[in-house]
Chains A and B, each alone.
Chain A
Amino acid sequence: MTNPSEGTFFLNGKDFANAGNASGSLKKVLEEMGVPPPLIRRASIAAFEAEMNTIIYAVAGIMHYYVTPGTIRVVLQDMGPGIADIDLAMTEGYSTAPDYIRDMGFGSGMGLPNIKKNADSLAINSVVGEGTTLEFVINLDKTA
């Protein structure tokens, strides 16, 4: 792999026309760095789920990534409604998404569980009325 890399993407709430651009750009960065494809897929999926959550629920947010020879670390900070019960939000199938989000194929309550599934570690800190910070890490010494 090449040298460590980091970058930031800005996310606008309800900007569905550009939803996925940040994750797609992160995927390209990881490809150019020579990260193994199975790990790129896991990182891209986790980032996309988190990006969609920000765009669906928050006014705005940022996605910051840090890639070192050992890890991919992605942090999303949003200005959103916050999550009152994180354990409940982690339950597969639990969702507060409105119908128009479901019509787009999202909001089925699989986002956070899927981030957890694809990441080696996941941390969520949230304050209701202020926003949420989500951080996940994928270890690069794994091959799948």
Chain B
Amino acid sequence: MTLDEIKDILDAETLSAHCDGNTPVERAYCADLMSDVLCFSFTNSLLITHLTNAQVIRTADVANIKAIVFCQGKKPPRETVVLAEGKKIPMLVTGYSMFDSCGKLYEKGLRGKSESDT
């Protein structure tokens, strides 16, 4: 699934100046605990979260998160946006709740852990 498709499905707004809508996302993971993202997320995946502080970007960077969706209409502060731009991590914001965001993406075929994962 591409970022453009995710944007359409979630009726989302792009927060990044340099967001390539054709960027493919292989998996998705949702959490507000960055500790969990570091433990359980997948490389090249989409992160869905309510948290908007700069630690989200730093966590996404080391965990090879491909893009971030902030749900429930939560927009990150400027320092988060600047950091994400520097690390070239695209960000979207959707008005949908985390539950609805995940449900809509799952319905359209995006998955978390796959059966081939160990």
Q: B36 near A: Cβ within 8 Å?
A: yes
Within 8 A of A (CB), among B55-80: 55-56, 58-59, 61-64, 79
Given A44-B62, A110-B39, A114-B39 in contact, is the A17-B33 Cβ separation under 8 Å? no
Of the listed stretches A61-69, A71-79, A82-90, A101-109, chain B binds A101-109
Q: Which residue of B lies closest to A49 (CB)?
A: B38
- Set A45, A108, A109: member contacting B62, Cβ < 8 A: A45
Chain A interface mostly helix, strand, loop or mixed?
helix
Question: Bound state CA distance, A17 and B80, in angstroms?
Answer: 10
Binding site for A on B (CB under 8 A): 32-39, 43, 51, 53-56, 58-59, 61-64, 79, 87
Residues from chain B with Cβ under 8 Å of A38 in the complex: 43
Inter-subunit contact B34/A106 (CB<8 Å)? yes
Q: How far is the CB of B76 from chain A (nearest CB, A)?
A: 13
Contact across chains for A41 and B62 when beta carbons are under 8 A apart: yes
A108 touches B35 (CB 8 A): yes
> Contact between B63 and A45 (Cβ–Cβ < 8 Å)?
yes
The reply to whether B55 and A41 form a contact with Cβ atoms under 8 Å apart is no
Q: Which of B32, B39, B43 has the most CB of A within 10 A?
A: B39
